[in-house]
Amino acid sequence: MNGCVQLLSLQSRPIRLGMVIQSPDFTSVDSYMAPNNDHRQAREDKNTEILALHNHTTLGYDKIAKSTGVAKSTVRAVIKRGQAHDAPRSGRPTKVTAISRKIVEKVVDDDSRLPLHDITNEANKAIAKTTSQILGHTTVDTILRNAPFKLIKPRKKPFWRKGQKAKRKEFANRRQRWNLNQWKKVVFVDESTIEYNPNPIGEKIRIRPGHELDESNLQASFKSGRTNIGVYAAIAYGRRTELIMVRKRTPKERTSKTDRLGLNANQYANEIHEPHLIPFMETFPDTPDHLFLAADGAPWHKGAKNRKLREDCGYATLPWPPNSPDLNPIENAWLVLKSRLRSRWGDSTQRPHSAEELFIEACEEWEKIPQETIDNWIEGMPRRMKAVLDANGGHTKW
C-alpha cells in the first residue's frame, strides 16, 4: 500500500528507555528535505517507549506520564490500545508538506512573541518562494499544536545592567566550594508585599434571574480597594524569625517632598534590625562574629545606624550581587506563603477585611511552612552557585 507506515512493535523495534525525540536541526528551509511522516514517526516512537515502560517496569500511569513527558490520558489510551502505531483515520490526507511545517516552526523559533496572524503571514511569504500553497490561520494553529511548542506566559526575570552578570558569576565562583556547614551560618533576609484584592477582575458567578441581590451572590466592596501589607522575615538552617509587619510611615514622618513614606534606613534600624534581627542572630550556637547576613542592596539596609548595629553585633555581610533574587532561598518562602494564602482565600469565610486581618492570616500560614522545607532550600545553595556558573552569570531556574 502506498504511503503506509511501518508498524512498530516491541519485537521488531529495539526498546529505548528514556529516549528523547528532537526536531532535526536545519539552517536553510530550501535545502531541508524530510519525510512526510516525521511527526507520526515521533509519536509512534513515543508510544513504543510508553508500552515498554508499562510492560517491563512496575511504573503506573502517573510515573510513565512524567517520565515520557506526555499527558496521563495519552498514556492510558496507548496502553489500552496495546500497539505503538496510530489507528487509521478517515478523511482526505493532509496537503501540508514537511517543508511547510518546518517553515512555520522556523518563524516561531525566530520570534516567539508573534501572534498567530503574523506567524501565518510570515510563513506564507516564505512558502511562496517554493510553492503556490497558502496556509490558513486554522492550519497554522494545527501545525503549532502538533509541533514541539507550548503556549506559556513569559517568566519574569530581573533586567540586568552592564556588569551585573559578571558580579553574579564572581559571587558564585567564590562560593562554589562552600559546604553545608558554611551555608548553615548564613542568615537570609528580605522584605515582601502581600496583597489581597477583594474585587478580582474577571470573576463570574452563575445565578438564576431575580437573585442578583442575594447576599450569597454579592461581591464585597471596600473603600480602600486592594489591601496590602509589607512584611519582613529572616530564615536560616534550622530556624527562622516570626513574620514581622513593616509599618507604613505617616505623613508627619516625611523627610522630603519626594519621600513616598516607604521603608527607610532609620525605620529599618529602629523597628526591624535592632529589635528583631540582632536577637535572632544571638540564638545561634555560634557567636554572631561567625555568622553572615545575606541581604540585597536595598537602601534601607544601609545607613550609619545600621552599620553601627552590625559592627556592635559582630556579624559580617555577604557581598550580595545585584538583581539576584534567584540566589536567596527566602524568595521561595515568599512564593509558598502567597500560594498558601490564595488557597486559604478560596474559602470566602477566610478572606481578610483589613490590613490587620491580612497580617494575622499571613502569620498563621508562615508558621505552617515546615522548617524542613526551608532547610532543603538552604541545602540546595551549592546547586544554585553551580547553576550561575553554568549559565555564565545568567538566569537560573529558581
CATH number of the domain encompassing residue 318: 3.30.420.10
* Residue 141 resides in a domain: yes
Q: Do residue 106 and residue 227 come from a single domain? A: no
C-alpha closest to that of 158 among 342, 346, 394, 355? 394
* Residue 213 resides in a domain: yes
Q: What range defines the domain where residue 371 resides?
A: 164-390
Q: Do residue 130 and residue 173 come from a single domain? A: no
Q: Cα–Cα distance between 182 and 185 in angstroms, integer?
A: 6
* Residue 169 resides in a domain: yes
In angstroms and rounded to an integer, the radius of gyration of the C-alpha atoms of the chain is 29
In degrees and rounded to multiples of 5, residue 140 shows phi and psi of -65, -40
Q: Do residue 320 and residue 180 come from a single domain? A: yes
* Structural domain count of the chain: 2
Average pLDDT, 10 consecutive residues per value, the chain (398 residues) = 40 42 41 52 86 89 90 89 73 76 87 86 88 86 80 72 90 92 95 81 59 62 69 96 94 89 93 96 87 92 93 92 92 95 87 91 96 96 93 85
Q: Do residue 115 and residue 188 come from a single domain? A: no
Q: Do residue 44 and residue 135 come from a single domain? A: yes
Q: Do residue 212 and residue 106 come from a single domain? A: no
Q: Do residue 51 and residue 199 come from a single domain? A: no
Q: Do residue 269 and residue 174 come from a single domain? A: yes
* Residue 316 resides in a domain: yes
Cell of 14: 529495539
Q: Do residue 197 and residue 271 come from a single domain? A: yes
Given this model, what pLDDT does residue 87 score? 64
Contact (CB, 8 A) for 231 and 192? yes
* Residue 204 resides in a domain: yes
C-alpha closest to that of 241 among 174, 293, 298? 293
Given this model, what pLDDT does residue 172 score? 92
Which residues are bridge partners to 293 per DSSP?
187, 317
Q: Do residue 95 and residue 197 come from a single domain? A: no
* Residue 5 resides in a domain: no
Element (H, E) at 41: helix 38-56
Contact (CB, 8 A) for 145 and 116? no
Q: Do residue 220 and residue 326 come from a single domain? A: yes
Q: Do residue 375 and residue 303 come from a single domain? A: yes
Q: Cα–Cα distance between 148 and 378 in angstroms, integer?
A: 35
Three-state secondary structure of 271-337: HHHHHHHHHHHCCCCCCHHHCEEECCCCHHHCCHHHHHHHHHHCCEECCCCCCCHHHCCHHHHHHHH
Q: Cα–Cα distance between 93 and 332 in angstroms, integer?
A: 50
Cα 66–chain centre separation = 18
Given this model, what pLDDT does residue 27 score? 41
* Residue 133 resides in a domain: yes
Grid look-up 523495534 returns 13
Determine the residue type at 261.
L
* Residue 397 resides in a domain: no
Q: Cα–Cα distance between 192 and 338 in angstroms, integer?
A: 10
